[in-house]
Amino acid sequence: MTENILQISSLEKHYPARSGKDVPVLRELDLSLSPGDFVALRGPSGCGKTTLLLCAGALLRPTAGSVLIDASNPYALSAAARSAFRAAHVGFVFQNFHLVPYLSVLDNIMLCGLAAAPQPTLPTRAIDMLDKLGLSHRLHHRPAELSTGEQQRVALVRALAGGANLILADEPTGNLDAANSRILLDTLANFASEGGAVLMVTHEPSASDRAFTRLDMRDGCLHSC
Amino acid sequence: MTVCQLVTRELAYRKWNFLLAILAVAMAATTYLLTSALLKSTDLTTAALVSRKVLDTERAMLRLEDEMRKSMKGLGFNIYIFPENQDLGEVYDKGFASKTMPETYVEKLANSSIITVNHLLPALTQKLTWPEQKRSIILIGIRGEVPLAHRNPLEPLIDPVASGQIVLGCELHQGPGFKPGDKLSLMGREFTIAKCHPERGSKDDITAWVNLSDAQQLLGKQGLINEIQALECNCVTIDRLAEVRKDLLAILPGTRVIEIGSQALARAEARLHAGATATQELASVKAQRSELRVQRETLAALLLPLIALMGLLAVIVLTLLNVRERLAEIGVFLALGIHSTTLLAVFLIKAVVSGVLGGVLGAALALLGIAVCRERLFDGHAIAALLDPSELAWLLVSMPVFAASAAWVPSFWASRRDPAEVLRHD
Ligand SMILES: Nc1ncnc2c1ncn2[C@@H]1O[C@H](COP(=O)(O)OP(=O)(O)O)[C@@H](O)[C@H]1O
Ligand SMILES: [Mg+2]
């Protein structure tokens, strides 16, 4: 049996409401991702997709249930250890890219080095990936000097270069045109094919079609379709 | 990528925030240094003024003392000896003593081995009303000089008045028209006028001199006198009155000794007066300077905390603005696995850098300020005297600490943001 990269069981997440009563967002949610999985997650706005990504990415402690990443429970770790764990195991891609405006393309990617133990292969891997994504001439440019598509590709390289085998993407194509969306989705599909796992929140049919599996979120639970 | 690289890139990117933080720190540092220099300059000027004044006074006193010594060399001086328990105030007021002492005192002095005193003149003086002429006069009974036993007989200084004779001051003979050789009656006793003095413009003009024994009889004070004049006294030390007093009191314990006005005495008084004036001036200089010092200290006590507070607030606000602008960035850093302690370090290193640069800039501005206003504000003192290197070093060390403390709360707040909270608002 291959080991799951992400194993979520009976996940509950409640937010405190102003009335004082907790509002449940995620209910008895189960999800597992193995190497090679590329899952598209769909659902109406406000149904809890981002909440699920944050819980899965060791950023948001669940109310109940368990989250295992590479067979470890990140929420059992101290804050510092969880940071280091996140750096080594999880990569995030955001709709708004969230590149650091004052760092060059290369430095935005090298930022991972501040988190984890020094990774001597990081620069070569990063340059290699940037080259594959057609950014080799942009290494020393600031994010503001790049197109949105280029910016999202840089964010993607940043998520991948740290050596994570779980990528969590929150509407990564939301701001991209068709051509750039295709490049991004191809890269994610390649990453999964090479043994990684991808959980991608998306609204766009073209994006969910590119994923290997599609799940719908309703009433805090997942339904395959 | 290191923390320092991250900090320098961010500093270069958000220049204005950084420059303002440097300026805030520099302002605090400059104010501190200038205030401290101002206080130091006040102290230096005070010390210089006081020491110059002290020196001036010493010099003036030495000059006066020297002059006095020269002027008194070989110059005898005169003293009065009054009876025991005589109130000197009364003597100064009335011109003669009301108390008496035995005439034998003068013999006692004459037979002693005293060397400070040369001529001894006993007298009995009293102011009274001349019943026959119905006017007030000063009656002085004199005996002429009493020779000192251990000396060669000296030339007498004042002619003695023979018994039964009288010498009159100008007022006393001019009015009634007395002439030498005339006879007159004083308190029922007849005297022959021996001499009529011309006008002297002093109380001598209402004085009548008779023989001591005649005066004693007239006043009913047989064998008594109320003063001894010691003329042409000689002393070796500058404090001559004390010297002669010491000699006299050893022989006539309890008597009162005063000096009769003379040029030398006036000089001695001038010296004392000069000393007193100088002391007073010194005290007033000191008082003025200490008042200035207090004024400037008060200013410093008001200004320094105010400026420090403003600098502190400025750094806090600038840090807060900076971290608020960087919340999304902070969320990404945390999501990427960068620990919050590393983030805190990033913010604090930034504050420390602005503290270091602000301290250097502040010191430079203070130096410039002192150089420019040296004459006007700092009494022309040298920069080296106004700014202590150890103080500068202390400032350069404390400014980064100051900036880091100001940045601490906003930095801590920012580094503890929940990344989920920040990233959800996508
Ligand atoms: N910190 C919070 N406190 C209270 N409610 C929250 C909080 N964060 C999210 N929610 C609520 O949880 C629900 C799910 O949010 P989210 O996961 O962002 O949805 P989605 O990403 O699917 O649009 C929404 O109704 C949202 O209002
Ligand atoms: Mg969302």
B380 within 8 A of B341, measured Cβ to Cβ:
no
Strand partners, B137: B128
Task: Spell out which residues of chain B touch residue A85, defining contact as CB-CB under 8 Å.
Answer: 337
Identity of the residue in B10, B14, B340 whose CB atom sits nearest the CB atom of A79: B340
Q: State the Cα–Cα distance between residues B101 and B234, nearest whole angstrom.
A: 25
Maximum Cα–Cα distance for chain A, whole Å?
Answer: 54
Listed in order, strand segments (DSSP E) in B87-157 are 101-102, 119-130, 135-142
Residue of B nearest to A119 (CA): B1
Q: How far is the CA of A62 from the centre of ligand 1 (A)?
A: 13
In a domain, B360, yes or no: yes
How far does CA B62 lie from the centroid of its chain? Answer: 17
Residue A45 CA: nearest ligand 1 atom is 23
Q: State the Cα–Cα distance between residues B424 and A25, nearest whole angstrom.
A: 14
Q: Which pLDDT belongs to residue A68?
A: 97
Residue B421 CA: nearest ligand 1 atom is 1
pLDDT band at B426 (very low <50, low <70, confident <90, very high): low
Q: What is the CATH number of the domain that holds A186?
A: 3.40.50.300
A166 within 8 A of A89, measured Cβ to Cβ:
yes
Sheet holding A64-69, edge to edge: A22-33, A6-16, A64-69
Q: Reduced to 3 DSSP states, what percent helix, strand and coil does chain B have, rounded to the nearest 5?
A: 60, 15, 25
Do A114 and B334 make contact, defined as CB atoms within 8 angstroms?
no
Residue A60: phi and psi, rounded to 5, are -135, 115
In a domain, B54, yes or no: yes
Locus of tokens 């073209």: A206
Identity of the residue numbered A66: S
In a domain, B73, yes or no: no
Q: State the Cα–Cα distance between residues B164 and B147, nearest whole angstrom.
A: 23
Torsion angle defined by CA atoms of residues A127, A133, A134 and A139, in that order, rounded to the nearest 10 degrees: -40
Structure confidence by residue, pLDDT tens digits, B8-35: 999 999 999 999 999 999 999 999 999 9
In a domain, B12, yes or no: yes
Q: Which pLDDT belongs to residue A1?
A: 47
**CA-wise closest residue to A29 among A219, A225, A196, A212:** A219
Taking residue B56's Cβ as centre, other Cβ atoms within 10 Å add up to 13
Locus of tokens 């002059």: B67
Task: Spell out which residues of chain B touch residue A57, defining contact as CB-CB under 8 Å.
Answer: 335
Residue numbers of the domain that contains A97 = 36-47+79-224
Q: Is residue A155 within 8 angstroms of chain B, CB to CB? A: no
A:B CB pairs within 8 Å? 92
Structure confidence by residue, pLDDT tens digits, B198-234: 998 888 899 999 999 999 999 999 999 999 988 777 7
Ligand 1 binding pocket (C-beta < 6 A) is: A 15, 25, 45-51; B 424
User: Mean pLDDT: which of A68-82, B148-162, B328-342, B411-425 is highest?
Assistant: A68-82
Task: Spell out which residues of chain A touch residue B331, defining contact as CB-CB under 8 Å.
Answer: 98
Q: How far is the CA of A201 from the centre of ligand 2 (A)?
A: 8
In a domain, B272, yes or no: no
Q: Which residues have a Cβ under 8 Å from the Cβ of B242 and sit 6 or more positions away?
A: none
Q: Which pLDDT belongs to residue A73?
A: 97
A4-13, A182-191, B145-154, B411-420: lowest mean pLDDT where? Answer: B145-154
Identity of the residue numbered A141: H
**CA-wise closest residue to B260 among B70, B121, B113, B64:** B121
Q: Reduced to 3 DSSP states, what percent helix, strand and coil does chain A have, rounded to the nearest 5?
A: 40, 25, 35
Based on the structure, what is the number of domains in chain B? Answer: 2
Q: Whose atoms come closest to the Cα of A42: which ligand?
A: 1
Q: Which pLDDT belongs to residue B26?
A: 95
Q: Is residue A212 within 8 angstroms of chain B, CB to CB? A: no
Q: Identify the three-state secondary structure at position A98.
A: coil
DSSP state of A164: -
CA distances B25 to A85, B33, B242, B371, B415, Å, are 39, 12, 69, 21, 23
Residue A44 CA: nearest ligand 1 atom is 22
Structure confidence by residue, pLDDT tens digits, B78-99: 788 999 988 888 888 888 899 9
Residue B117 token pair: 């005193």
Q: How far is the CA of A49 from the centre of ligand 2 (A)?
A: 6
Identity of the residue in B3, B5, B426 whose CB atom sits nearest the CB atom of A94: B426
Q: How far is the CA of A219 from the centre of ligand 2 (A)?
A: 15
Taking residue A40's Cβ as centre, other Cβ atoms within 10 Å add up to 23
Task: Say whether both B173 and B98 belong to one domain.
Answer: yes
CA distances B423 to A37, A92, B334, B405, Å, are 25, 11, 10, 29
Please name the residues between 19 and 78 in chain A that touch chain B, using a CB distance below 8 Å: 50-51, 54, 57, 59-60
HSE-up of residue B242 (Cα within 13 Å, Cβ side):
3
User: Exposure pattern of B230-249 as b/e (b: 16+ CB <10 Å)?
Assistant: bbebbbeeeebbebbbebbe
How far does CA A83 lie from the centroid of its chain? Answer: 15
Task: Say whether both B231 and B88 belong to one domain.
Answer: yes
In a domain, B270, yes or no: no
Identity of the residue in A50, A86, A102 whose CB atom sits nearest the CB atom of B9: A102
Q: How far is the CA of A59 from the centre of ligand 1 (A)?
A: 14
Do A54 and B340 make contact, defined as CB atoms within 8 angstroms?
no
In a domain, B265, yes or no: no
The last residue of one of the domains, among B260, B277, B299, is B260
Structure confidence by residue, pLDDT tens digits, B237-293: 667 777 778 888 888 888 888 877 655 566 666 667 777 777 888 888 889 888 988
Identity of the residue in A88, A90, A100 whose CB atom sits nearest the CB atom of B329: A100
Taking residue A146's Cβ as centre, other Cβ atoms within 10 Å add up to 18
- The ranges of chain A with pLDDT < 50 are 1
Task: Say whether both B229 and B306 belong to one domain.
Answer: no
DSSP state of B203: G
Do B426 and A85 make contact, defined as CB atoms within 8 angstroms?
no
Residue A187 token pair: 């890269």
Strand partners, B135: B130
DSSP state of A72: B
Structure confidence by residue, pLDDT tens digits, B289-326: 889 889 888 888 898 889 889 988 999 999 999 999 99
Residue nearest to atom 24 of ligand 1 (CA): A46
Do B12 and A95 make contact, defined as CB atoms within 8 angstroms?
no
Based on the structure, what is the number of domains in chain A? Answer: 1
Q: How far is the CA of B375 from the centre of ligand 2 (A)?
A: 69
Residue numbers of the domain that contains B231 = 79-260
Q: How far is the CA of B313 from the centre of ligand 2 (A)?
A: 38
Listed in order, strand segments (DSSP E) in A70-147 are 90-93
Task: Say whether both B236 and B374 belong to one domain.
Answer: no
Q: State the Cα–Cα distance between residues B388 and B382, nearest whole angstrom.
A: 11
A29-33, B164-168, B333-337: lowest mean pLDDT where? Answer: B333-337
Residue B71: is its pLDDT beyond 90? no
Q: Whose atoms come closest to the Cα of B422: which ligand?
A: 1
Task: Say whether both B38 and B173 belong to one domain.
Answer: no
In a domain, B307, yes or no: yes
Residue B344: is its pLDDT beyond 70? yes
Structure confidence by residue, pLDDT tens digits, A99-145: 999 999 999 998 887 876 667 778 888 899 999 999 999 999 999 99
CA distances B332 to A57, A97, B420, Å, are 13, 9, 10
Q: Which pLDDT belongs to residue B151?
A: 66
CA distances A155 to A150, A173, B118, B167, Å, are 9, 12, 120, 133
Locus of tokens 């006036």: B266
What's the whole-number average pLDDT of chain B? 86
Identity of the residue numbered B75: L
Task: Say whether both B290 and B397 belong to one domain.
Answer: yes
Task: Say whether both B158 and B242 belong to one domain.
Answer: yes
DSSP string, B213-233: HHHHHHHT-TTEESEEEEEEE
B70 burial (CB, 10 Å; 0-12 / 13-18 / 19+) is exposed
Identity of the residue in B2, B13, B336 whose CB atom sits nearest the CB atom of A101: B13
Q: Which residues have a Cβ under 8 Å from the Cβ of B298 and sit 6 or more positions away?
A: none
Complex ipTM: 0.88
Task: Say whether both B208 and B248 belong to one domain.
Answer: yes
Please name the residues between 89 and 148 in chain A that touch chain B, using a CB distance below 8 Å: 90, 92, 94-96, 98, 100-103, 107, 110-116
Interface residues of chain B, partner chain A, Cβ below 8 Å: 1-3, 5-6, 9-10, 12-14, 328-329, 331-342, 419-420, 423-424, 426
Residue nearest to atom 5 of ligand 1 (CA): A15
Interface probe with A: pick from B2, B330, B421, B423, most Cβ of A within 10 Å: B423
Do A170 and B426 make contact, defined as CB atoms within 8 angstroms?
yes
